[in-house]
Amino acid sequence: MLIMQSLNLDAMLQEILSEQGIDELYPPQKKALPMVLNGRDLVLAVPTAAGKSLVAYLAIVNKLLKEGGKALYIVPLRALAREKFEDLRAFKKTGLKVGVSTGDLAESSSYLSRYDMVVCTSEKADSLLRHGANWLSHVSILVVDEIHLLHDPSRGPTLEVVIARFKRMNPNIQVVALSATIQNADEIASWLNAELVTSDWRPVQLKEGVFYRDNIEFIDGTVKEVRTNKKDGVIPALVLDSISEGGQVLVFVNTRKSTVSLASKLSTFVEKTLSDDEKKLLQKNAEQILSSTQEVIPLSEKLAYCIGRGVAFHHAGLSSEQRRMVEDSFKQRMLKCIVATPTLAAGVNIPARRVIIRDLWRYDPNFGMQLIPVLEYKQQAGRAGRPRYDSYGEAVVIARNPEQKKRIIESYLLAEPEPIFSKLGMESALRIHLLSAIVSSFAFDRESIYSFMRSTFYAHQSDVGFLGDEIENVLSFLEEHGFIETFDGRFQATLFGSKTSSLYVDPVTALQLKRALENTMVREVSPFAFLQVVCATPDLRSVYLKQGDDWVEESVDRFKHTLLLPVPNAGDADYEWFLSDYKTAMLLEDWINEVPEAKISSRYGVGPGDIHVIVETAEWLLHAMRELARLYRFDVVPDLTNLILRVRHGCKKDLLNLISLKGVGRVRARALYNAGFTTISSLHGISVDRLARVPGIGVRVASSIKKQIGENIEGERYKKG
């Protein structure tokens, strides 16, 4: 505790740290904490598990206790937001309240003003700025986790704009930016006018090596023998070797399909290493996986099968609940091995004794197979080594020949991560963020727009003059299509522009929705036509068109006359994109027509996580379309309202009344409907026992239904069967 006392921390903070067993600081923390506790801006670029988060937490609590204000903690992923929220709750003794928000981007979330510390994604922070949340002016400390994601084309521009706007809005704000080790961390620190702390120190030594011909050759000069045989292959041998020494293993592969097939293969080997007690615990986890959704689909069954044998796979096709179950089981050391796509490396903190990186290649739809960046390899390798469990961690890449082994060592193990470059110069990013700046009066003429752009990371790395043509093109687009107007050189958002920005959609999306609404005046509109419109926007990522998907084009030929947007000719460059969008709309139509998830997964080649993302995005875009319909085509508002509910719950129109009951999804609602209970009013006077006998309902749900409709079930006798 002497080190903690030397930092002059509040006594209550020292007590909280002591309760968490923290009485010694890591070297990077010793260097960084005096800076942030004195109110200085900081970029902390250190490896995974080197203590970045604790520096941020102490900076926040110290700032708020001494100076007041509020803290905003920005993370890239929802799962990370929940993790940081739980960590910050450990400081509740201080009286500081923490909230988390990653949801609705089209509302101001005014309830967040009651919290002292708010954890959110960069998109949610951007949304709060657009809605002019008053409490943001009181943010005195901004923490940006994973700031190296400035280079990400999808998330980077939003993150960059949020940081730039906060620094201009609150000039005295303290910024603490956390990063993996990157080549140009000094450039980010210079942009933020911040101190820089970099280090290669890790709490657990990382040994990086290449496996070739029964040997792992580590770059520290050591060699480890792992015997293999042609029948079983390399990866089972590497996995079992680590498990035999009490370790857990992460295996990274480049496709979802590979995660499933490899996990299934490994489960036959790993099962033999399990004790009877371990098998019983894992079987309970497997049963939880099967009960995590109302409809069991093949992917869930495969996951449950693997988990029961000590292995799991992890990718974005799983539901968020299933991914969390896998992560928790691994953290609790019940699972011995996870086979994952690289997204796991950028997500929540899940270390393992050994990390096996099978694939250094990834398919890019535009360029074919491409080598992954060094930074991505470093993130995967950085998961090796479990603090408190391991004295070292091993990151192993598999080579097929001596030449490949040499290239892997030179290009990855000994290489520096790539420098980070701003992606704000993309026209799509400029279109979104310039409109937002004008709508919020953050920028109101060319001078203020260029002044704002000069405060960005893009301008710090290059000359804003290079963006001149793009900025002018975007301003012309916004004015030509009615998002903004110009009066005496000053820009002013129109009602259409303001609504577009507040709905958090791309202006191109808003324009397509508006045009489609205008076309509803000349034809009768089906739910599918509305679904096809939202799927055709740049804000919804469509499913891939595959060989053998001729049935999609056949449907287009039958129904193209009912659509609200023009259908491109078969020879046009964007025809295949149109078919992908159309296929996604067909998926959504199946969803609202209560086609079982198993059939949807099989027909469209997607997992429950994919379905959830498509459904959630479509609901958001239909909401945006409905809000625009209030301006341009009010008589379709009821149709869109019904469709939003159908998409949210995945049901036909006749279930909309029943589906409003809590705990009654589309499967239970249909069971009630088929049993003769077609509306909520028809449930009045029915005994719990009678409702419980409806397939899929049971006593617990039946009791909940009766309470929701205001009927007292005390004293009622019923069977529990």
At the second CATH level, the architecture of 507-650 is Orthogonal Bundle (1.10)
What is the predicted pLDDT for the residue at 117? 96
Residue range 582-596: average pLDDT?
96
Flag whether pLDDT at 105 surpasses 70: no
Instruction: Give the mean pLDDT of the chain.
Output: 91
Banded pLDDT at 718 (limits 50, 70, 90): very low
Distance CA 45, CA 145 (A): 11
Q: Provide the 3-class DSSP secondary structure of residue 484.
A: strand
Angstrom distances, CA of residue 636 to CA of 239, 305, 561, 588, 619:
58, 47, 19, 19, 16
Flag whether pLDDT at 597 surpasses 50: yes
CATH 1.10.150.20 residue spans of the chain:
658-708
Token pair for 136: 């943001």
218 forms beta bridges with 209
pLDDT in tens, 440-464: 999 999 999 999 999 999 999 988 8
CATH number at 427-502: 1.10.10.10
pLDDT in tens, 471-523: 999 999 999 999 999 999 999 999 999 999 999 999 999 999 999 999 988 77
Banded pLDDT at 5 (limits 50, 70, 90): low
Question: Are the CB atoms for 625 and 323 separated by under 8 Å?
Answer: no
Q: Which CATH class is domain 658-708?
A: mainly alpha
> Percentage of the chain with pLDDT > 70?
96
pLDDT in tens, 345-403: 776 788 899 999 999 998 877 777 899 999 999 999 999 998 888 899 999 999 999 99
pLDDT in tens, 232-266: 999 999 999 999 999 999 999 999 999 999 999 99
Helix residue ranges, H only, 364-462: 374-381, 402-408, 427-439, 446-453, 457-461
Distance of CA 146 to the CA centre of its chain: 13
Flag whether pLDDT at 720 surpasses 60: no
Angle at 205 between CA 385 and CA 409, to 5 degrees: 95
Flag whether pLDDT at 102 surpasses 90: no
pTM for the whole structure: 0.90
Angstrom distances, CA of residue 327 to CA of 79, 116, 344, 356, 494:
11, 29, 9, 17, 47
Question: What residues contact 446, with CB distance under 8 A and at least 6 apart?
Answer: 475, 489
Q: Provide the 3-class DSSP secondary structure of residue 214.
A: coil
Flag whether pLDDT at 2 surpasses 80: no
Answer CATH for 2-198 from 3.60.40.10, 3.30.70.270, 3.30.460.10, 3.40.50.300: 3.40.50.300
Angstrom distances, CA of residue 429 to CA of 104, 161, 485:
20, 10, 20
Distance CA 503, CA 501 (A): 5
Distance CA 700, CA 720 (A): 9
What is the predicted pLDDT for the residue at 181? 83
Which carries the bigger pLDDT value, residue 164 or residue 5?
164
Question: Exposure of 291 by Cβ count < 10 A (0-12 exposed, 13-18 middle, 19+ buried)?
Answer: exposed
Task: Name which of 32-46, 181-195, 336-350 the model is least confident about.
Answer: 336-350
Q: Which CATH class is domain 205-413?
A: alpha beta
Which carries the bigger pLDDT value, residue 185 or residue 8?
185
Distance CA 254, CA 372 (A): 10
CATH 3.40.50.300 residue spans of the chain:
2-198, 205-413
What is the predicted pLDDT for the residue at 715? 52
CATH 1.10.10.10 residue spans of the chain:
427-502
Token pair for 331: 């953290």
Flag whether pLDDT at 295 surpasses 70: no
Angle at 497 between CA 565 and CA 173, to 5 degrees: 130
What is the predicted pLDDT for the residue at 296? 66
What is the predicted pLDDT for the residue at 368? 78
What is the predicted pLDDT for the residue at 199? 93
141 forms beta bridges with 71, 174
pLDDT in tens, 515-556: 999 998 877 899 999 999 999 999 999 998 888 899 999 999
What is the predicted pLDDT for the residue at 6? 64
pLDDT in tens, 193-227: 999 999 999 999 999 999 999 999 999 999 999 99
H/E run at residue 477: helix 468-480
pLDDT in tens, 641-679: 999 999 999 999 999 999 999 989 898 999 999 999 999
